[in-house]
Amino acid sequence: MTFQVDHIISIKHGGDTIESNLAWSCFAYNNNKGSDIGTVLLPSVEFIRLFNPRSDSWDVHFEAVDCVLYAKSKVGEATIKVLKLNEVERIMERQALL
């Protein structure tokens, strides 16, 4: 697998190219995220930000069962939705890595 450097907060939204705003991302996740910083979760139509790997704790927002990710928070739900973390290909990649 190859990874690329991703801006957590995109330049478009005022993010800087500094270490605290950069993270390794696989191509698929980075491509799905684009410049998004969050999404709207229905039915509440409430804007929810995406998971920030520099400041959020993974265990607070996600749980993995048999390589499928489950949200433990709205941030987790938004991130799973936008990054499409549970597409079949992503689950198979996690299984292969284990």
Burial of 40 (0-12, 13-18, 19+ CB in 10 A): exposed
pLDDT for residue 41: 95
pLDDT value at 29 more than 90: no
The pLDDT tens digits of the residues spanning 60-71 come to 999 999 999 999
Q: Tell me: pLDDT of 13 over 70.
A: yes
**Interatomic CA distance for residues 74 and 71, integer angstroms:** 7
- Average pLDDT of the chain is 94
pTM score above 0.85: yes
